[in-house]
Amino acid sequence: MNIAANPVVQADETVYLKDYQKPTYLVDSVHLDIQIFEDYTIVNTVMSMQRQTEGPLVLLGRDLELKQIKINDHVLSSAQYQHNEEQLVILDCPDLFTLETSVHIHPETNTMLEGLYKAGDLFVTQNEPEGFRKITFYPDRPDVLSVFTTRVEADKKYPILLANGNLLEKGELNATRHYAIWQDPTKKPAYLFACVVGDLAVLKDHYVTSEGRRVALEIYAIEKDIPKCHIAMEALKHSMRWDEEHYGLPYDLDNYMIVAVSQFNMGAMENKGLNIFNTSCVLADEEYTTDAAIMRVQSVIAHEYFHNWTGNRITCRDWFQLCLKEGLTVFRDQSFSEDLQSAAVQRIDDVSVLKSHQFPEDAGPLSHPPRPDHFVEINNFYTATVYEKGAEINRMMATLLGKTKYRLGTDEYFRRHDGQAVTVEDWVNALSAGSGVDLSAFLRWYNQPGTPTLHVTEHYDAAEKTYRLTFKQSLKENAKYPDLKAVPIPVAVALFDATTGEQYTLHSNDLFKNHVQDGMYLFDQDEASIVFSDIEQAPVVSLLRNFSAPVHLIFDDSDESLAFLIQHETNGFNQWQATQTLLERILLNNHPAQHYIDALKHTLPNLVNKDPLLASRLLDVPSESYLASRIDQDYLPEKMKAVRDQLIYTIAHDMGAFWKETYQALDPAQQSEFSQAMGERALKNIMLSYMAAQKDKDVFDLAFAQFSDSKNMSERLGALKILVWHDAPQAKDALHAFYVRFKDEPLALDQWFMIQAAHPKLNEAELKALIAHPDYDLGTPNRIRAVSGGLNSRPVNAWSFGVQHFIHLAQYLDEKNPIIGSRLLQALSRWYTLAEPKRSEVLQQLKDVQPSIRSKNVSETLSSMLKA
């Protein structure tokens, strides 16, 4: 068939939200028969099709060897359909018919980790967003929901045969082959289809829902990783309870399975009843993984579980609505994690991610609204903006509504849309209708790109005893989105008595509630002001408490006020925010360091025992990468590093014996609470790094002892970093010992690679040696990310020999794994901020690679980057 003449294939590869059309056919049910052989796999599909609108039947399919198509048992000749690289179109179909297709596919050579692929000895699927079309011809779009029955057949050397739903039948074909038949009773889009074939061990448990349903819980992993699955299992049960209590949402199937895979593009995938997880997001054990990784496992388990309602039962109409499921689910997992540990520290960590990833993304050439209105490759839109900014929008609405009204709103959403594929508008409408509060203005947040800037000025009137705050908002112009409007910004505010440090009771009719301590003001115009009365003397104000809106705050308060807030703010998040604002002024605008150091001296001695985790965060010095994201031109990585090193040196010396004394006083092993122990471990590692900055003569012995004596991975790695990054005499031995101990533990080995790639004085030859190491593996995204991430955390290196590293990777992965290639290339997206001559050099390198790029993923990213 002549492909170019096919009217259904578009020449322009850009897809637009405004062009959305309903699918011409729905699929009432689908039966898949997947027969796995060593060098190919047969997929036979039977679908009951039902016409919904006029037009041809469009089935999507990629890299499929088509063997046969039948309609109602009649084999079609090639003249009866049109087939190209992307789709199969059948022009005249009845309104109701059975379609059968047979294809061959090649999971054993699939390196893209999309569709059905072989990871080591395991066959697994990844179908979100558009992977199912690599398994069979199908209307692979989220607004086509169907009941799936799956037969999986394979050699008996693969004892585990899994698919979504309930096991109907299991049996043997002959001496070597066996099969299983699964049926998922709930209608779902194809991106939630999953199957797994391999040899795995399993951890079993169960959970009884609020409705009395007994759910079998199973986590599958390789045998030796099973002991590392208990934390995930506990987190799963906890998530199930949490969703019942906070959203009234129980689980709906009789089983819930999780499979751990080491070759996986992202964190995890919420396939209905059969989640597939990157091992990094399910294996958790103090001996093998860090505290941060343990926290991440719990939040990702919750995230994928929460998708069962926000994503699976209510799904997206089209991929432009991705943030409908992701933004809401991230907000839900963040709320869960806030209940799990210190809420303030969880918020600090979530905002850190937002500020260090989403803000820069939104300030650069890849900026897009949380709900974009066009894309070339949807895989490029699994971004910090869709996930993290999407979560912030939901948080703002939830904060404004308060617990009770928010719950009325979410109840209405689940009541209206269960079983449907919906849009962001449907969500905001249901939330408004249920709560009785019109939230439609928040749609602007979904549709506009860029981080708004909130300018605040203050005025105290001593005669009237009034205090006025004036707000202005602005958005950076964006050629693609010309008519930007003011967004609703919830501003949480507190006032403090500058002498006593006491919090004022607020008297202002402009607030949601009057005569309270914690005020909430909704600023939804271009400019407005609010007045507080009965203020006895000029107060210290704390704005955007808990980061009540994802904006850049410009407020010309004094360094003294920030130091005051570090000491007196009762909101832990804003205590931390004050340290960060102050440190940014010190590092970027040459302010003196003394206010920060004095505030630490007042605050830390008590806090290290009371709340070691928060104390550790107050010692965060913004990273070089974050600081770089705040510089828009003439960025000099070496200069930035020197300024930051100098500050650390100053803090280290000014605090004298504090570091060593605290290091010796802390004993995490004595703490029974995990978060207390985690806080003490974090602090001890920071203490070591300041002692190293002081050139304390004992620091390497202390670090080596910690490294050798501890069985805890956070302690081990913290000490190893000190030794390696400061070129201690023990560094080589420690690295070797770590390798010998953990060479068969891929997640620990990732850390070993990361630490070396993140050496501050790494050179090109050392980087080459690292990626020539036999354990370096371009087929495992975790391993690539370990090295690239380590390198990227040192901008001086990343912007010298690192540039070629990222370009080569993108070029290599362009063919092998374009999803990851495109992501890694983004490390260079801020090339245009560099000072000359580097700026032109990197630009030239990017331009040179452009003609060789084939994938939509990498080419869309590269061409956006070059438009900067």
Residue 856 binds ligand TRP (CB under 6 A): no
Mutual angle of helices 322-340 and 343-353, in 10-degree steps: 140
CA dihedral 512, 515, 518, 520 (to 10 degrees): 20
Query: Taking CB within 5 to 8 Å according to partner kind, which of ligand TRP, Zn ion, none is near residue 676?
Result: none
How far apart CA 576 and CA 582 sit, in angstroms, is 10
Task: Round to whole Å and give the CA distance between 309 and 408.
Answer: 16
Shortest reach from residue 268's CB to Zn ion, in Å: 8
**Rounded to the nearest 5°, which phi and psi values hold at 125?**
-115, 150
Instruction: For the segment 362-421, give every residue that binds ligand TRP (CB under 6 A).
Output: 379, 382
Beta bridge partners of 474: 453
**Shortest Cβ 298–ligand TRP spacing (Å):** 14
Stretch that binds ligand TRP, among 123-131, 155-163, 526-534, 784-792 (CB under 6 A): 123-131
Interacting partner of 128 out of ligand TRP, Zn ion, none (Cβ under 5 to 8 A depending on kind): ligand TRP
Starting at the edge strand that comes first in sequence, how are the strands of the sheet with 65-71 ordered? 74-75, 65-71, 96-105, 41-51, 25-36, 146-155, 177-188, 166-172
> From the list Zn ion, ligand TRP, none, which binds 265 (C-beta under 5 to 8 Å, kind-based)?
ligand TRP
As measured in angstroms, the least distance from the Cβ of 370 to Zn ion is: 14
265 is a contact residue toward ligand TRP (CB under 6 A): yes
Query: Which partner in Zn ion, ligand TRP, none is near 266 (CB below 5 to 8 A by kind)?
Result: ligand TRP
Q: Tokens 């939509």 belong to which residue?
A: 856
Catalytic residue among 114, 153, 218, 304: 304
Q: Which does 481 bind (CB under 5 to 8 A by kind): ligand TRP, Zn ion, none?
A: none
How near is the Cβ of 284 to ligand TRP at its closest, in Å?
17
304 is catalytic: yes
Which position among 145, 203, 268, 813 is part of the footprint of ligand TRP (CB under 6 A)? 268
Residue 204: CA count within 13 A, CB half-sphere: 5
Q: Which of 534, 537, 549, 435 is nearest to 493 (CA)?
A: 549
Q: Is residue 304 a contact residue for ligand TRP (CB under 6 A)?
A: yes
**Non-local CB neighbours of 826 within 8 Å, separated by 6+ positions:** 366, 861, 865
d(CA 744, CA 767): 22
| CA 521/CA 539 separation, integer angstroms | 18
**170: which 2 tokens?**
């299991």
Residue 677 near which of Zn ion, ligand TRP, none (CB within 5-8 Å, type-dependent): none
Nearer to ligand TRP (CB atom), residue 319 or residue 467: 319
Rg, Å, the chain Cα set: 28
Cβ atoms within 10 Å, residue 700: 22
Half-sphere exposure of 44 (CA within 13 A, CB side): 7
Q: Does 262 bind ligand TRP (CB under 6 A)?
A: no
Report d(CA 793, CA 623) in Å as an integer.
Answer: 8
Q: Compute the distance between CA of residue 484 and CA of residue 500 in angstroms, rounded to an integer.
A: 43
Residue 437: φ, ψ to 5°: -120, 125
Residues 593, 610: Cα–Cα separation, whole Å: 25
Nearest to 160 by CA among 185, 188, 197: 197
* CB nearer to ligand TRP: pick between 219 and 593: 219
Judged by CB under 5 A, the stretch of 329-337, 443-451, 513-521, 563-571 that binds Zn ion is 329-337
In whole angstroms, give the CA distance from residue 793 to residue 679.
23
The burial class, CB within 10 Å (0-12 / 13-18 / 19+), for 4 is: exposed
Beta strands in 262-324 (DSSP E): 268-269, 274-278, 315-316
Cβ at position 717, least distance to ligand TRP in Å: 26
Q: Which is nearer to ligand TRP, 454 or 819 (CB)?
A: 819
User: Smallest distance from the beta carbon of 326 to Zn ion, in angstroms?
Assistant: 5
Which range in 124-132, 228-236, 351-359, 554-562 contacts ligand TRP by CB under 6 A?
124-132
Kind and range of the H or E run holding 468: strand 466-474
Interface mask (CB under 6 A) for ligand TRP, residues 780-819, using x and -?
---------------------------------------x
| CA atoms 759, 765, 768, 773: torsion sign | negative
CB nearer to Zn ion: give 385 or 508.
385
The residue range among 8-16, 192-200, 264-272, 344-352 that interacts with ligand TRP, by the rule CB under 6 A, is 264-272
Nearest 5°: phi and psi at 439? -105, 10
Question: Which residues within the stretch 308-327 sit at the binding site for Zn ion (CB under 5 A)?
Answer: 326
Spatial CA neighbour of 668 closest among 648, 683, 654:
683
128: contact with ligand TRP by CB under 6 A:
yes
Residue number closest to ligand TRP, CB atom: 266
| Euclidean distance between CA atoms 496 and 535, whole angstroms | 10
Q: How far is the CB of 694 from ligand TRP (least distance, A)?
A: 43
Work out how close the CB of 625 gets to ligand TRP at its nearest, in angstroms, rounded to a whole number: 23
Residue at 173: amino acid letter? L
Q: Which is closer to ligand TRP, CB of 289 or CB of 299?
A: 299
Applying CB under 6 A, among 126, 448, 561, 730 the residue interacting with ligand TRP is: 126
Quick note: the x/- pattern for ligand TRP over 57-86, rule CB under 6 A, is ------------------------------
| Distance separating alpha carbons of residues 825 and 840, to the nearest angstrom | 17
Residue 350: name its binding partner from Zn ion, ligand TRP, none (Cβ under 5 to 8 Å by kind): none
Which among ligand TRP, Zn ion, none contacts residue 382 (Cβ within 5 to 8 A by kind)? ligand TRP
Residues of span 316-355 touching ligand TRP by CB under 6 A = 326
Cα-to-chain-centroid distance, residue 133: 25
Which range of residues in 122-130, 496-504, 734-742, 772-780 is near ligand TRP by CB under 6 A? 122-130
Minimum CB distance to Zn ion, residue 178 (Å): 33
How many whole angstroms separate alpha carbon 321 and alpha carbon 214? 33
DSSP letter at 260?
Answer: E
Q: How far is the CB of 573 from ligand TRP (least distance, A)?
A: 25
Residue nearer to Zn ion on the CB measure, 346 or 797: 346
Count of all residues that appear for the chain in the document: 868
What residues does 849 pair with on adjacent strands?
A: none
CB of 823: closest distance to Zn ion in angstroms?
16
Please select the residue that binds ligand TRP; options are 100, 143, 184, 270, rule is CB under 6 A: 270
Q: Does 269 bind ligand TRP (CB under 6 A)?
A: yes
φ, ψ at 133 (rounded to 5°): -65, -10
Phi, then psi, of 77 in degrees rounded to 5: -85, 160
Expressed in percent and rounded to 5, the helix, strand and coil fractions of the chain are: 45, 20, 30
| 329 vs 575 by CB, closer to Zn ion | 329
Specify the residue, 90 or 276, whose C-beta has the smaller distance to ligand TRP: 276
Q: Which does 130 bind (CB under 5 to 8 A by kind): ligand TRP, Zn ion, none?
A: none
- Measured CA angle at 87 (ends 82, 92), to 5 deg: 45
Q: Does 110 bind ligand TRP (CB under 6 A)?
A: no
Task: In angstroms, give the least distance from the CB of 183 to Zn ion.
Answer: 25
Size of the site for ligand TRP (CB under 6 A): 14
The region of 289-297, 328-336, 621-629, 731-739 touching Zn ion under the rule CB under 5 A is 328-336
Among 56-64, 268-276, 679-687, 690-698, the segment contacting ligand TRP (CB under 6 A): 268-276
Minimum separation from the CB atom of position 276 to ligand TRP (A) = 8
Q: Between 230-247 and 390-417, two packed helices, what is the crossing angle to 10 degrees?
A: 60
- Give the residues lining the site for ligand TRP (CB under 6 A): 126, 128-129, 265-266, 268-270, 303-304, 326, 379, 382, 819
- Give the residues lining the site for Zn ion (CB under 5 A): 326, 329
- Catalytic residue ranges: 304
